């Protein structure tokens, strides 16, 4: 303590060449003739840090603290630069300046003004105390971001940092940082986080779309071309819309797996609901399904043949003449019943 003055309302202290002043009547505290405020580190400040993270998430909270530290440091660096002090002399003021404010013990371990690089050791910083109270093992990003900003202001060039090997485990509170010119900026970091969050949201949406699409596909499979047991030994499969390779293979597998359980002697394929512009692939698919059914002892009957469909079938290389054709579903069922010597009364 270099000097101490006391009055009724004001108390002034000078420590390490730095002035502190309290005015209890006004309720003010000044550090170097500028209003300041005091908080308990592991309670009030910890709650402040915890709340930021709770609201914004860990990644965003780290970026908020790092960016805030950088911008505050930039103000300090520009302040020192305006004093027109040589950079080594300006940095020599750092230990007392920050120690007197309770930031911790700071030591500049190396400095190269020409290359605009520096290294710093930080011990017992207020941020590490908060981090320990939070149960973390690594130092936070506010203080290193702060000194990156300070050096950016001093050097007149964007400076960034890299942390050395250290952790808060085993009561270790010493951290080292290297500072160097870099294209990394807080603006770029904010942009990258926004893009990262956006990409994460897109991935979530893609996952939701994929899940919904899968559910819809399952539903389409369930209701598209259902197998309908209309009478004993007779099942009807209405063909609907267009058929591609996946849809046709699924229907063939589904039909062949279910025909034995229905003890189906006759499979009636209703072609009424097929797309008007039927392709040669669809005709081939019909032939494939009918042929496969015959291999397990089920006779196929084709119904709902339109003139357009008949012309398309005739122009393909698929010979469907071996199957029985009928204009309507009713006629096809009557035929199947007649083959069994039965009729609808």
Question: Domain boundary at 156, 184, 212, which?
Answer: 184
pLDDT of residue 305: 82
Neighbouring C-beta atoms of residue 48, cutoff 10 Å: 11
CB 256 within 8 A of CB 223: no
Residues 78 and 171 in one domain: yes
Number of independent structural domains in the chain: 2
Asked if residues 159 and 129 have their Cβ atoms less than 8 Å apart, the reply is no
Domain assignment present for residue 24? The answer is no
Does some domain include residue 344?
no
For residue range 20-68, list pLDDT tens digits in order: 999 988 899 998 889 999 999 999 999 999 998 898 888 888 899 999 9
Nearest CA-CA partner of 264 in 296, 238, 287, 292: 296
23 part of a folded domain: no
The answer to whether position 199 is within a domain reads no
* Separation of alpha carbons 44 and 134, rounded Å: 12
Strand order through the sheet with 174-181: 105-112, 117-123, 174-181, 159-163
- Measured CA to CA in angstroms, residue 109 lies from 76, 100, 250, 315 at distances of 20, 20, 71, 88
Q: What is the pLDDT of residue 205?
A: 73
**Distance, first Cα to last Cα, the chain:** 116
Q: What is the pLDDT, as a whole number, of residue 137?
A: 80
Let me know whether 178 and 265 are in one domain.
Answer: no
**204 lies in a domain?**
no
Can you give the pLDDT at residue 224?
A: 60
Asked if residue 262 belongs to a domain, the reply is yes
pLDDT for res 209: 74
Angstrom distance (rounded) from CA 255 to CA 138: 62
Any domain includes 316: yes
- In this prediction, residue 3 carries a pLDDT of 46
Task: Evaluate whether 152 touches 121 at the Cβ level (below 8 Å).
Answer: no
Q: CA 135 to CA 129: how far, in whole Å?
A: 10
Q: Which domain holds residue 106?
A: 39-184
Q: Is residue 307 part of a domain?
A: yes
Q: Is 318 helix (H, G, I), strand (E, B) or coil?
A: coil
Find the CATH number of the domain harbouring 281: 3.30.750.24
Phi, psi of 150 (to 5 degrees): -60, -45
Q: Which two tokens stand for residue 326?
A: 């009928």
**Do residue 180 and residue 254 come from a single domain?**
no
pLDDT tens sequence for the chain (345 residues):
444 445 557 899 998 888 999 998 889 999 888 999 999 999 999 999 999 889 888 888 889 999 999 999 999 998 888 888 899 999 998 888 899 999 999 999 999 999 999 999 999 899 999 998 998 888 899 999 999 999 999 999 999 999 887 766 666 678 999 999 999 888 888 777 777 766 677 777 778 777 777 776 666 665 566 888 988 999 999 988 888 888 888 889 989 999 999 999 999 999 888 866 678 888 889 999 999 999 999 999 999 887 777 887 888 878 788 889 898 999 999 999 999 887 766
- Which stretch of DSSP H or E encloses residue 120? strand 117-123
What's the predicted TM-score (pTM) here?
0.57
pLDDT of residue 294: 92
């Amino acid at each position: 303590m270099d000097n101490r003055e006391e009055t009724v309302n004001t108390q002034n202290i000078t420590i390490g060449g730095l002035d502190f002043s309290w005015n209890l009547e006004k309720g003010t505290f000044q550090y170097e003739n500028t209003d300041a405020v005091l908080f308990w580190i592991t309670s009030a400040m910890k709650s402040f840090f915890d709340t930021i993270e709770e609201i914004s998430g860990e990644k965003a909270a780290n970026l908020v603290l790092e960016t805030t530290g950088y911008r505050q440091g930039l103000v300090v660096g520009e302040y020192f630069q305006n004093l027109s002090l040589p950079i080594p002399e300006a940095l020599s003021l750092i230990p007392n300046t920050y120690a007197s404010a309770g930031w911790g013990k700071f030591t500049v371990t190396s400095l190269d003004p020409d290359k605009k690089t520096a290294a710093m050791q930080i011990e017992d910083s207020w941020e590490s105390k908060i981090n320990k109270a939070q149960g973390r093992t690594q130092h936070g990003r506010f203080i290193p971001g702060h000194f990156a900003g300070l050096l950016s202001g001093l050097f007149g060039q964007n400076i960034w940092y890299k942390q050395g090997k250290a952790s808060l485990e085993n009561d270790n509170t010493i951290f080292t940082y290297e500072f160097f010119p870099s294209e990394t900026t807080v603006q770029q970091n904010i942009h990258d986080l926004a893009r990262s969050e956006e990409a994460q949201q897109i991935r979530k949406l893609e996952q939701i779309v994929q899940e919904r699409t899968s559910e819809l596909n399952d539903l389409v499979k369930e209701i598209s071309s259902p197998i309908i047991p209309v009478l004993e030994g007779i099942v009807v499969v209405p063909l609907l819309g267009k058929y591609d390779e996946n849809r046709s293979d699924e229907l063939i597998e589904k039909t062949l797996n279910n025909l034995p359980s229905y003890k189906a002697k006759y499979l009636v394929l209703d072609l009424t609901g097929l797309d008007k512009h039927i392709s040669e692939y669809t005709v081939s698919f019909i032939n494939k399904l009918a042929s496969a059914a015959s291999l397990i002892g089920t006779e196929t009957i084709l119904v709902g043949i339109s003139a357009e469909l008949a012309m398309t079938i005739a122009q393909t290389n698929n010979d469907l003449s071996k199957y029985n054709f009928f204009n309507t579903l009713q006629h096809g069922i009557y035929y199947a019943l007649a083959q069994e010597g039965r009729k609808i009364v």
